[in-house]
Structure 1
Amino acid sequence: MTETPPAPIFPHRFAGKVMMVTGAAQGIGRGVALRAAAEGARVLLVDRADFVEGTAAEAAGKAAGFCADLETYAGAASAVAEVVRRFGRLDILVNNVGGAIRMRPYAAFEPDQIEAEIRRSLYPTLWCCHAALQVMPGQGGGVIVNVSSNATRGIRRGPYSAAKGGINALTQSLAMEYAGQGVRVVATAPGGTQAPPRRIPRNAAGDSAQEQAWMAEAVDQVTRSSFMNRYGTLEEQIAPILFLASDEASYITGSVLPVAGGDLG
């Protein structure tokens, strides 16, 4: 499957807005960033993969790429500093970094593997929210859209489920805390999503035959749990994220929107 730039649906929806999208080199993050640029935003695409620069170039001058390791606070702070330096402000943050590294029964995870899952799927959102909230209240407000998951209920992904449950809780608590300062905090909870093969695999060590079998069990559960009995498309995940990021959702905060074909997670 070849990725193509998403077509603009609302050409001026984000006119005058500055957006930062994390995990933007490929997949959902790439689609969100390029669609937002096509709809008028100036966008900083952030990823630790160096090909994020090439992805940003697809936006024809409306976006820039930036490499950072968002599992560290220094990386998150440097990304927020870069978007402000380059574009003068930060109106919208889309926290998209994450993804299960391994799928196996919880008891089969090694302690260091559990820590790695939490670092990958919770810490980037924690750090980027913290860094963005140094900026947004002082400029009069902003929007944070966290990409969570319906995997808070599922099999073979216990540490990842815990990380995404943490994102849901963070979304709700920050929404309550910062509403008075003009900051909306919302989330989507995607289900299984069809996407082109990753250019950088999540598990660099590769999956054993047993791990592939466990993954197949998880995929089967995700598909059966969807009322529609299928995975979603990238476009079906991108559109709700951009809606929540836009002024059309101005009275929505603290909500976690399931986007999983009826499976609420």
Structure 2
Amino acid sequence: MIFSERFKGQVMVVTGAAQGIGLGVAARACAEGADVLLADRAEFATEMASEIDAKGPGRARAAIADLETYEGAEAVMAAAIEAFGGIDILVTGVGGAIRMRPYAEFEPDQIEAEIRRSLMPTLWSCHAAIPHLRKRGGGVIVNVSSNATRGIHRVPYSAAKGGVNAMTASLAMELAGENIRVVASAPGGTSAPPRRVPRNAEGDSEAEKTWMAEAVEQVTASTMMGRYGTLDEQVAPILFLASREASYITGSTLVVAGGDTG
């Protein structure tokens, strides 16, 4: 369901917007009137932005940047200012487990890579966006977390998303007096089209394929509804949290996982 003009006159930055939940958020926000900057390190984010822009009524542009670096986050915010003149809403969608394996099987560099992928882009993007939200006299940050703060075969990812939840609560407390809300959505398992950029560029070993299957079985079994969610079922709560309808919600993490609270 599209809420016509819900975000009319507002500028939204969506990170990790080239595919999956981030792309869904960007497309629907633009359909509801927002001017949207799609930020991703995948070059095809430009293609996605062009498709969304053609449908309107909002405008869509892309910024190609590595959000695992602070320089990348700063470049994204600068691109939003250049394209649209300000920032009202930030949705931090970068993240995702790279590998699925028992914790004892992770190598130290693999643990660090999971933290860089699923925690640091949120920290960097929030930090880079705050001055621009202040210039607008307020705004909203919606961090896309995960209910996988409890789950097998992804302990480093769980730790990263637990960090996202904690920084959401603390940052909300810091910024509440400045009319800036900070909230999070914690999706559970979500059905999505095949990824154009693979989760693990090195490919999964046979053992990792087995561990992945075990993790999927655990996620499905932990969900009261007994199924994965759809992209639309994840996009809608994120946009609600970003909207004025959620004006009295801050510091909270909304779990969207069919009853599996993580």
Q: Same fold, TM exceeding 0.5?
A: yes
> Partner residue of 2:86?
89
Letter in 1 for 2:93: N
CA displacement at 1:137 relative to structure 2: 1.6
> Where does 1:130-209 land on structure 2 (aligned, <5 Å)?
130-209=127-206
> Partner residue of 2:12?
19
Per-residue CA distance 1:80-135 (angstroms, 9 max, x = gap): 01101110110000000000000000010000000000000000000000000121
Unaligned runs of 5+ in 1: 1-7
Distance in 2 (CA, whole Å) between partners of 1:58 and 1:228 is 34
Per-residue CA distance 1:55-94 (angstroms, 9 max, x = gap): 0011216100110000000000010011011101100000
* 3-state DSSP of counterpart to 1:150: coil
Q: 1:246 aligns with which of 236, 243, 247?
A: 243
TM-score normalised by length of structure 1: 0.96
Per-residue CA distance 1:108-166 (angstroms, 9 max, x = gap): 00000000000000000000000001211232001000000000010000000000000
Letter in 2 for 1:146: N
Q: 1:259 aligns with which of 253, 256, 259?
A: 256
Alignment size in residue pairs? 258
> Partner residue of 2:109?
112
> Partner residue of 1:35?
28
Distance in 1 (CA, whole Å) between partners of 2:160 and 2:154 is 10
The root-mean-square deviation of aligned C-alpha atoms, in Å, is 0.7
> Partner residue of 1:4?
none
Letter in 1 for 2:155: G
CA displacement at 1:202 relative to structure 2: 1.4
CA displacement at 1:212 relative to structure 2: 0.3
> Where does 1:50-65 land on structure 2 (aligned, <5 Å)?
50-59=43-52, 60=54, 62-65=59-62
> Where does 1:222-241 land on structure 2 (aligned, <5 Å)?
222-241=219-238
TM-score normalised by length of structure 2: 0.97
Report % sequence identity: 71
Distance in 1 (CA, whole Å) between partners of 2:9 and 2:103 is 46
1:47 partnered with 2:40: yes
1:214 partnered with 2:211: yes
Please identify, of 225-234 and 59-68, the stretch whose mean Cα deviation from structure 2 is larger. 59-68
Distance in 1 (CA, whole Å) between partners of 2:167 and 2:215 is 26
Q: 2:95 aligns with which of 93, 98, 103?
A: 98
Unaligned runs of 5+ in 2: none
Please identify, of 102-111 and 137-146, the stretch whose mean Cα deviation from structure 2 is larger. 137-146
Distance in 2 (CA, whole Å) between partners of 1:67 and 1:9 is 28
| Runs of 4 or more above 2 Å deviation | none
